[in-house]
Amino acid sequence: MQEVRIGGAIINEKTPPYVIAEAGINHNGEIEKACAMIRVAKEAGADAVKFQTFKADEFVGDPQMMFTYESQGKEVTEPMLDMFRRYELGRDAWFLLKARCDEEGITFLSTPQNRSDLDLLLEVCITAIKVGSDDFTNTPLLRAYAHRGLPMIISCGMSDMAEVYMALEAVGALDGHPTVLMLCTSEYPTPPEDVNLLKLRTLGNAFPQVVLGFSDHTRGPLASSLAVVMGAKVLEKHFTLDHDLPGPDHLFSEDPAGLKEWVSSVRESWTILGSAIVRPTDKELVNKKEFQRVIVASRNIGKGEFFSVNDITMRRIPGGKGLPPGLISLVLGNPAEKDYKQGEPVWLS
């Protein structure tokens, strides 16, 4: 597995998962909400908060293109261009949000839709470039972004293995460019049967040069927790200040309490993975003395008597000091070297 650095964080197979709280466009074009989301992400324990930087006119080609989504309990259909225009933030807003992230002690990330957006984000001083699934097959854009020299985080929703290979080739990941490949299903929300976390194993075997991640569009923390077990080192999930806000992404996003639970679940999953070395924990070593049985005399035995199966048994004793049952063959048929009372641990010299 490759090593990737985002801000001050090192991400590799030995480090805890890197957690990104995806604000996206859930600020609804309001800088106050965006700042509030930064605070929520920090309080939830995320490593980074990510937005989306765009000019709607530069990536939506047809002003008549319609988009349908569910919001506030009803189905909404409107021109995609009009929708994205509402969620644009001006140039100065990005510098303010970066400064607010620095104040809160959380890494600022944002997905640029176009090269001009990346130019702006580079001025803001991002530490990695995130590309969404919508541009995963846009190899000219991927090459241009990777040429800037920053680590790449790329989501592979809607793509097959050939497209994954072409995208990784475009960003230079196969030649060592630091890259996080995010497994993603571009369904909002994603039903359990379409998550397919086994893809992480396939991608990891095919492309050991990259760090694996998971962009989670399911409800709840379970999928991300399982992804950690499957080797995902970067986890990302949308969140909102309130599910009842208008907009396309609020419904499937986590609220502040859900975000906190998700982050905690991801962290705990990593802790639960623990060590691959098979040995008792420190607490188990203490419990071992109390829980495991030792060889004891089943009756009073005089010195010189030969031990038979009727003379010994296995019992728990205080402190656990004694011979383990696995050494019974060394006791049977041999003479007692001292007098033993019933229940006393049997020893060998």
Instruction: Express each pLDDT in 280-303 by its tens digit.
Output: 999 999 999 999 999 999 999 999
Averaged pLDDT, 131-145: 97
* pLDDT higher than 70, residue 70: yes
CATH of the domain at 199: 3.20.20.70
Please give the full DSSP string across 16-57, using - where no structure is assigned: PPEEEEEEETTTTT-HHHHHHHHHHHHHHT-SEEEEEE--HH
185 and 302 housed in the same domain: no
Maximum distance among all Cα pairs of the chain, rounded to whole angstroms: 101
200 and 334 housed in the same domain: no
Taking Cα atoms as reference points, which of 163, 149, 249, 171 lies closest to residue 203?
163
Overall domain count for the chain = 2
Give the domain range for residue 329. 277-349
321 and 247 housed in the same domain: no
Averaged pLDDT, 74-97: 96
Averaged pLDDT, 89-108: 98
| Of the residues 273, 291, 313, the one at which a domain ends | 273
* pLDDT higher than 90, residue 137: yes
CATH of the domain at 281: 3.90.1210.10
In order of 132, 184, 198, 202, the CA distances from 158 in angstroms are 11, 8, 16, 16
263 and 298 housed in the same domain: no
For residues 217 and 226, give the distance between their C-alpha atoms in angstroms, rounded to a whole number. 14
81 and 174 housed in the same domain: yes
pLDDT-derived band at 61, boundaries 50, 70, 90: confident
135 and 210 housed in the same domain: yes
For residues 80 and 101, give the distance between their C-alpha atoms in angstroms, rounded to a whole number. 29
96 and 190 housed in the same domain: yes
Quick check: is 1 in a domain? Answer: no
* pLDDT higher than 70, residue 255: yes
Residue pair 187/238 in contact (Cβ under 8 Å)? The answer is no
91 and 135 housed in the same domain: yes
* pLDDT higher than 70, residue 1: no
Radius of gyration of the chain (CA): 29
Q: Percent of the chain having pLDDT more than 70? A: 100
Quick check: is 5 in a domain? Answer: no
285 and 241 housed in the same domain: no
| Of the residues 246, 273, 300, the one at which a domain ends | 273
Quick check: is 23 in a domain? Answer: yes
